[in-house]
Structure 1
């Protein structure tokens, strides 16, 4: 059953809470640059995530770990200049918050001050509780992230579905409630069983955004390059490709090369 949308001039953390309470699903996509952010924002996406997935999609790294705080600030500030409505959330990169709450606060402050972003996102549960508290106490909104946490890929050793076993599932549920109690405004659940994700979404009052977590949560997030089909090697079950830009762009660029080689471009109408 569809729910009537409320029109927001600007999306805030309060807007997302109202959406959950009203039963309106939350849309979230990644963006890493001005041009893409402008398109995503103009299309009506509620939340733009400046994800550390930029490490994969923009820089070609195998994991998200190499991305630095300076690089995240660069991407975030580019995105901010392209938006009018969306809430912009920025990943705190690996190594910038896990071990030292004071370092976590410094990292979050740098992102907020230097990029103009609206919130930060962190991966993990009780292990980073003190870092989360320190950031929240400074008045910076925090989004949590549980389930498959890509910054911990070497700990997991695989990108397979998380929390299938009871012990890990119970920990995830406890961590979600801890994040809510600590003051996080939302939490992302990545690649966990749909039944568990629905249970978590129904057990806490803050919005739950899923990626590979079924339809029983309060919203969905995808990586923009994946859903537009700009990448073609990555094919998880949860990914729906809305375009096949890889083939379309390849064809267009090949046509351009042919036109240049054949002297068809530029023609008489395309020069001064």
Structure 2
């Protein structure tokens, strides 16, 4: 069933809050390069996340930890050049904000100045409160991220669902409220029970974007390469594949190889 979409010439942090107030769901996808960003933005996605998942998707690392601030700025700059409508949010990478609020501010300013992005995203709750406040005080919009926080994977030891136990769920709700009070414009909740995510979304005035957090939140985000099926090893319950590009591309490239070997490409119409 098709759903009417409101037309926004440019998405801002205020637009997202207005969307929540009107009950309009927010669409968010990752993007790491100019070509993909142009497609994603042109299709009407509201928020483009230059995620540190580029460490996995683009560089082949096992975790998000190895990606550097310079590399995030490179990816963000490429995305910004391809976007006309969407809000571009960039992950601060591991090690660029956790221990020192001054370092967090320097990292955020570099991203904003050197890439032209519109906001940054940080993982964590009260333990990074001072870093968030320092960035916000400089006028940089901040999106929070709670639940499964991939930069802390070695602390958790697993990518399993978070906040299933009462104590962790209580802390998550407290952290979400703290992020709102600190001034964050939105919060991502990753891989937590749908009931808990809905409670958090209903308790906050800022948008809550879910990934593996059910449909009771204000919007959804997934990794674009997973959604269009360019990756094929990853099969979480929350992922819906809208295409199978891995198979389609493999077939096309194999055909290209066969055509070259058979001297069928280029043919007479494909040469000068």
Interval containing the TM-score (normalised by the shorter chain): over 0.9
TM-score when scaled to structure 1?
0.99
Structure 1 residue 7: deviation in Å?
1.2
The corresponding residue for 1:98 is 98
Secondary structure of the residue aligned to 2:131 is helix
Partners of 2:260 and 2:133 lie apart in 1 by 58
For structure 2, the 5+ residue unaligned runs are none
Partners of 2:243 and 2:110 lie apart in 1 by 36
Partners of 1:138 and 1:245 lie apart in 2 by 42
Partners of 1:137 and 1:3 lie apart in 2 by 38
Residue 157 in 1 paired to residue 157 in 2?
Answer: yes
The corresponding residue for 2:262 is 262
Residue 89 in 1 paired to residue 89 in 2?
Answer: yes
Asked if 2 retains the 8 angstrom alpha-carbon contact of 1:144 and 1:188, the reply is yes
TM-score when scaled to structure 2?
0.99
Asked if 2 retains the 8 angstrom alpha-carbon contact of 1:4 and 1:24, the reply is no
For structure 1, the 5+ residue unaligned runs are none
Partners of 1:15 and 1:271 lie apart in 2 by 50
Structure 1 residue 5: deviation in Å?
3.4
Aligned length: 272
The corresponding residue for 2:119 is 119
Structure 1 residue 159: deviation in Å?
0.1
Q: Which of structure 1's runs of 4+ aligned residues deviate more than 3 A?
A: 1-5
Structure 1 residue 4: deviation in Å?
5.3
What is the 5 A alignment of 1:1-272? Answer: 5-272=5-272
Partners of 1:266 and 1:6 lie apart in 2 by 46
Partners of 1:5 and 1:19 lie apart in 2 by 11
Partners of 2:142 and 2:228 lie apart in 1 by 28
Partners of 2:3 and 2:184 lie apart in 1 by 25
Partners of 1:14 and 1:265 lie apart in 2 by 52
Secondary structure of the residue aligned to 1:210 is strand
Partners of 1:57 and 1:187 lie apart in 2 by 23
